[in-house]
Amino acid sequence: MGKVAVGAAVICAATVCAAAALVVRHRVRTSAKWARAMAIIKDFEERCGTPIGKLKQVADAMTVEMHAGLASEGGSKLKMLISYVDNLPTGNEKGLFYALDLGGTNFRVLRVQLGGKDGGIVSQEFAEVSIPQDLMVGTSDELFDYIAAELSKFVAQEGPEFQLPPGRQRELGFTFSFPVMQSSIDSGTLIKWTKGFAIDDAVGQDVVAELTRALERQGLDMRVSALVNDTVGTLAGGRYSNKDVVAAVILGTGTNAAYVECAHAIPKWHGLLPKSGEMVINMEWGNFRSSHLTLTEYDYSLDAESLNPGEQVFEKIISGMYLGEIVRRVLCRIAEEVSLFGDTVPPKLKVPFVLRTPHMSAMHHDTSSDLKVVGDKLRDILEIPNSSLKERKLVVQLCDIVAARGARLAAAGILGILKKLGRETFKDGQNHRTVIALDGGLYEHYTEYSKCLESTIAELLGEKVSESIVIEHSNDGSGIGAALLAASHSQYLGVDEP
C-alpha cells in the first residue's frame, strides 16, 4: 500500500505540475498577447500625436492654403468658394420663410415666422427625415423627388401661426452642404459629392434647377431664393443673434468652415466689389491636406477604400462619419494579430463602418466602474459577448486617441482662420470679441471631443488672446440661417406688406 500511495502521490504531483505549467504558459501567452496589443496602441498613439508645435504648423499651412485658394481657382486644395452672400442678416427680416437643409444622411425641412426689427423669430417648426441608403447612390431625380415629396408633406401641415400674405409665393433657403460652384445667390453647380453620396448624373448640374423641377413635379409652388452651404447658413444664423460672429465651423457627419472676408482680399473675384465690402467665403476645408497632418496606416487604408480616394483627407480624420471607423480598423488589426477577442476575429469587426461615431462616443463617455456601456456596445454591435474589463479599457483608450487627434486638428484649423483674419494675437488698444459659431452633431453630442477642441484652442492662443475668442454653439444654425438668407434675398424686398 505504501508503494501505491507513493505512486499516487507522484502522479498527483506530476499532474499538478503539468497543470501549473499550463497555467504559467497560458499566463505567459496572455502577457505576451497584451504586450503586443499595447505595443500596437502605443505606436498608433505616437503616430496620432498632436503636440502644440505640430498644431501650429497645421494652422500656418491652413492660412497659406487659404491665401492660395483666394488667389485663383484651383490654386489650392481648399476651394475657397465665393458664396455670393455679401450681406448677412440684420435682424430686420420679416415674414414666413422655409428652409431645406441637406447635410448628410438626414435632411431637415424648416419654417420660420420672422417678426422684423426687434421681433426676432416668432415661430419655428422643423421635421427631420432620413435618406434611404440606395438614394445616396441612385439618380438625381430619385433623390430630389424624394426630398420634394417630404417638403410637400411638411408644407401641408402649416398651422395658423404661420402667415403668408395672399398672392405671394412661398420662398425657400436651400442649404446644400456639398462642394458647389455658385454663379449667383440662387444657382450653383455641384462640383462633387462627399459624405458617402455618389450620384453621378447630378455632378455638373445646377442643384437649384434640379430641386425646382422636383418641386414642380410635386405641384408645389415654391421659389428657391437662396442657395447656401450649411456652414454659410450657420454663419448667417450666428450673425443674426450675435454681431461678433466672424466664422462658422460644422463638425458633424462631415466638416467645413466659412468666414467673412474683405472683398478686396479676394484676387479671383472679378465682379464689382459689394457695397458692404465683405464676402462670405465657403472654404470647403474638409479637403485640406498638409504634410503636417498626422496620418497613420489606418487613415491611408480608409482613404484608399473610400468613394473618394485622395480627397477630403482632413474630413476623414476629424469628422463624425469616420472616427468610429478608424477605431474599428485598429481594433480589427489587434484582433487579427493577437487574437484579442478569441481565436477568430469576430465577423462583425470586419464590416466597414459598422462601428459608428455615436457608438464610439457612448463608449468614450462610459464612467461606470465595470465599463458596462463599452461591454454592451461590443456585444450588441460587434457581437463580442464576453469582453474583459482590460479589453474594455483598451477600447476606451483607443476612442480617446482618435477623438483627441480629431478635436486638436480641428482646433488647429480654426487657428488658421483666426490667423488669416489677424485675430490670433492681442493688439494694444483693440478690445474686440471674436465669435466662432459651431454646429453639427459631433460637436454637440460628443462631449469629450468638444471639450478637447475648446481647451486646445485656448492652449494654442494663450490666456490673454483666448479671453476674447468665443466658441458659441449655433444650434440648427444651418437651417435657420438658410431661412434668414431666403428672407434677405426675397423677391418681395421693398414691397409693402399688403
The amino acid sitting at 480 is I
User: Which run of H or of E encompasses 82?
Assistant: strand 81-82
**pLDDT attached to residue 90:** 82
Q: Are strands 170-176 and 222-228 parallel, antiparallel or unpaired?
A: parallel
- What pLDDT digit, counting tens, does each position of 199-220 carry? 999 999 999 999 999 999 999 9
- Distance from C-alpha of 422 to C-alpha of 469, rounded to nearest angstrom: 12
Domains and CATH numbers, the chain: 51-80+247-272+283-474 (3.40.367.20), 84-228 (3.30.420.40)
**pLDDT attached to residue 26:** 46
Under 8 Å between Cβ of 331 and 395: yes
Residues carrying an active site annotation: 108, 177, 230
Under 8 Å between Cβ of 283 and 249: no
Show the low-confidence residues of the chain (pLDDT under 50). 14, 16-26, 498
Closest by CA position to 217, among listed 165, 171, 151: 151
**pLDDT attached to residue 498:** 44
**pLDDT attached to residue 12:** 52
- 433 forms bridges with which residues in the sheet? none
- Distance from C-alpha of 40 to C-alpha of 52, rounded to nearest angstrom: 24
Distance from first CA to last CA of the chain, Å, rounded?
117
**pLDDT attached to residue 21:** 45
**pLDDT attached to residue 104:** 81
